[in-house]
Amino acid sequence: MPETTCPSCGAPFKYDEDYAQLVVCPYCNNSIAVVDKSLKVDQKLAPLTKVPTRLEIGKTLVHNNVEYAIMGVARYEYGDGFWDEWHLLNTSNNQVAFYTEDEGDYILFHEKKILPAAEAPSAPIGQTFSLGEQTISLREKGQAKLSGMMGQIANQFPPMTPFTYVDGVIGQHMVIVSYLQDRVILATGTPVRYTDVTIK
Ligand SMILES: [Zn+2]
């Protein structure tokens, strides 16, 4: 990991230049976008309020004997509250992964696709809609925004900017679709049991 200095406050910090798309400076809390391996100060974020969790940046999440480095956490606020998305690096193949724990649902997202910008679906909950070649059954839809983060994350959501998200199902997989202004992000995951995930 290269060591660099925060372009906003000058404090030293480290990030993984192959992984990070958004880094938060632990000293001044500015979010810093990593664009073509250079750093661009984005926006000051409020420090993340701690919630009880077994996850911690710097530790390793293990599922099915696969080890994932815990790189950062992004908090998304929506109407009723927020969810935390933990950003992982699969250390065996260097692929990006995500893990969410939300109201008893534990989901490990192992695939992320970037698609061209599109309108969010108008289908009601329980109906299906199309995204590219996929047919998705819609479970929940709402507005969210990236309101805080720690560490480094492998997505470049413009902080504090509302976007439409859809939770859905494709076959055995859970998906989250984020409709940003310039692109759509489709994350595909698998529900896991709490006890099948260990942190070390
Ligand atoms: Zn700083």
What are the domain boundaries of the chain?
A: 60-199
In the reported structure, the alpha carbon of residue 185 is separated from the centroid of ligand 1 by a whole-number distance in angstroms of 28
Beta strands of the chain (E only): which ranges? 3-5, 12-14, 22-24, 30-35, 38-44, 60-63, 66-78, 81-90, 96-102, 105-116, 128-131, 134-153, 163-170, 173-179, 183-191, 197-199
Alpha carbon of 50 to those of 44, 69, 197: distances in Å? 18, 20, 21
CA of 9 to the centre of ligand 1 (A): 4
How much is the pLDDT for 57?
A: 95
Ligand 1 centroid–CA 147 distance in Å is 17
Six token digits for residue 105: 């649902």
What's the confidence (pLDDT) of residue 66? Answer: 96
Q: Are 142 and 162 in contact (CB under 8 A)?
A: no
Average pLDDT rounded to a whole number, residues 106-132: 94
Do residues 28 and 6 lie in contact, with contact meaning Cβ atoms separated by under 8 Å?
yes
Using the structure block, give the residue that is written with the tokens 């995500």.
Answer: 98
pLDDT band at 1 (very low <50, low <70, confident <90, very high): low
Distance from the alpha carbon of residue 149 to the mean position of ligand 1, in angstroms: 14
CA pair distance 94, 159, nearest whole angstrom? 26
- pTM equals 0.91
Q: What integer pLDDT is reported at residue 2 of this predicted model?
A: 64
pLDDT tens figures, 138-179? 999 999 999 999 999 998 888 889 999 999 999 999 999 999
Å from CA of 102 to ligand 1 middle: 30
Ligand 1: distance of its center to the CA of 87 in Å?
21
Give the pLDDT confidence of 70-101 residue by residue, as tens digits.
999 999 999 888 999 999 999 999 999 999 98
Question: Which residues touch 59 (CB under 8 Å, ≥6 apart)?
Answer: 70, 199, 200
How far, in Å, is the centroid of ligand 1 from the Cα of 77?
23
What's the pLDDT score for residue 17? 85
pLDDT in tens, 35-73: 877 888 877 887 888 888 999 999 999 999 999 999 999
**Separation of 148 CA from ligand 1 center, angstroms?**
15
Cα of 145 from ligand 1 centre, angstroms = 22
Torsion 9-14-16-22 (CA) sign:
negative
120 CA distance to ligand 1 centroid (A)? 35
